[in-house]
Structure 1
C-alpha cells in the first residue's frame, strides 16, 4: 500500500508499506518519497527485487518464540493436534526461543533428538510451516531427515484370526479382579468387532449407543496428552455399525458410570495409563506381552475386508477420510494366504482333548 504521512516540520512525504504476517502490522519497505509517483516506483522496484523475501531476509530480530506463537495460531491443525504440538515443542522453545532460526544448527537438532526423540516430529512440522510461510529461509532446516516413520500397527499376514479374538475375549475375567474383567471383555469386543480407536472407546457415552438401530454415534475421543475429550480424529463425528457380537458383550457388563460406557477399575476415565494397566495382564496371558490394543482395530478392518466389505465401506467404519486408500494400503489387503489361514482356523477350532484322544 502507498501512504502519505507528515513530518514534524509539516512537510508531506510518501511511503510504501506491506503487511508483515509475523509482527501482524504494516511495515515500511520504502519511505521519504516526495511524491506518490516516486513511492509507487520504489515499491515496484522492491517487488521486482524479491518483495517479501527481501523483507524476510532483513528480519534480524525474528525469534523462534515469535515463530512458535504464529505457527500455533495460524497453522491448520485440529484442536487435539495443536495441543500435542504445543506440548512437544514447549521445552525446545523455552530453551532456544530467544534465538533466530538460523542459529539453530544441525548439531543442536541431533542432540535434541537424542534427548527427546518424540519432540522431533512437532519441531519439524513447525519448521516446515515457517518455511512455507516464508518466515524461515528454505535452505535451512536442521530437522531435515530426522523424523522417523512410526512403525506400522498392522500385523504380519495371517496372525490374528477369529479364534485368537475369541481366546482374548475369555481372558479378562480370568486375569482381572471382580466384575472388571467383564468390562474388559466388552472393551475387546468393541475394539475387534466395531473397530473404534482406543481413545474413541474411552469417549463413548451411553447415549451414543443405539442398539435398536445397530449403530454407535462416535462423537468424541479421550486425548491422553491433553487429558481432555475432543472431537474424533480429523474432527469428524460419525455413525458406525454396532454388531450383535459387540452389543451382547456390552449388555453383559456392569454400569460403572452414569454417562461413560467404559471406565477404569475405580470408575475414572479409561486413560492410556489406566488402559495399559488392565490390558497388559490380558495380553501377557495371551502370550503377546507387547501387543497393542490397536491391533484389534486392524483385525476388524481385515475381517470386514475378507467378509466382502469394500475398502471405502471399511474406511467409513474406521473413520478414515481418504475414501479407502489407507484401508487398501494398510488394513484392507486380504491375508497373504487365505487358504492356509482357513486351515489354521479349522485346526485351532479342534479342542485339544479331542486331538489327544485321537492319538491315544
Structure 2
C-alpha cells in the first residue's frame, strides 16, 4: 500500500518535482570525473510518477474533524484495494468542491445531488460511479426550537412565520429539495422573516436552531439521525417534519483521472464501492462512516429531477 498524504485546502499539496538545474560548473566537474575515471556521475533521480495520486474530496457538509476521519479512512482503503496513491484534499465550501473538480485539482468527489449535477455539467466527460443504498431514498428533516411550541406535523405552513435557516446555499438536502417541498405546500422558500439564513453545514444548522439564533431549519436526515444516536442532539431541537424521498449523494469521477490512471478506472472504482461488504471488518468501517449498508452503481439519469429543480430555482445554468 502506498503512503496516503493529506493535502491542504484549495488544491493538491504535492506536484511533480522540477528537474534540478545543473550549473555550467557542475557539468564540467561531472564530465571531468567521467573522463579521468576518478568518479562517476551520480545516477539521475527517479522520474516522478507521471500519473500522480488519485485526489479525492467531498462537499464539507459536516464538521471538518468528522470529514477528516471519514475520508482519511476511505483513502487508506482505496489505496490498498486499487494499488495506487490516494490523497484526500479537504475543501472550504461547496462551491470550491465544484470548482476544483472542474479544474482537475480533484479527481473523485463525494457530491450531493445538486453539486454533482453542477460539477458534471461543467466538466465534460465526468461520470457518476456509485451512490449509497440510502441515496436512492433520501430525506431531509425540518427542525424547530422547542420554544416555538410546535409539535411534529406534516404541515409546513407554520414554518413560514419563523426565522429560518437552510444549510449551504447549494446543498441538496439542506436547501434545494426542502425549498421545493416548501413551495409545494404554498410556503415561499425565500419569504421567511428577514430572509432565510444559510448556516453552511448540517451540524451548524442544528447548533443555530438549538441556540435560538434561528427558530427553525432543515438538514439531511442522515446527519440528524447520526447525532441523535450519538446523544449529541440538544434537547432544545425538535424534529418537526420529514420530506418525501429524492435521490442525493454520489461519487463523481473526472476525465483527467481516467486519462492518467487508465480507461478502466470508472469500472474499478464502481467495483470497489459496490464490493464493500459489511461482513469484512475493514469494509464495515467504511460503510459505517458513510452511514450506508452498501454502495450501488448509479448514472446521471438518477439526478434528472435534481437538475430540473435546480434550473427552476436558478441554481443550475
| TM-score computed with the length of structure 1 as normaliser | 0.26
Larger Rg: 1
Of Structure 1 and Structure 2, which has the larger fraction of its residues in helix?
1
Q: Which has the higher contact order (CA 8 A, sep 6+)?
A: 2
| TM-score computed with the length of structure 2 as normaliser | 0.28
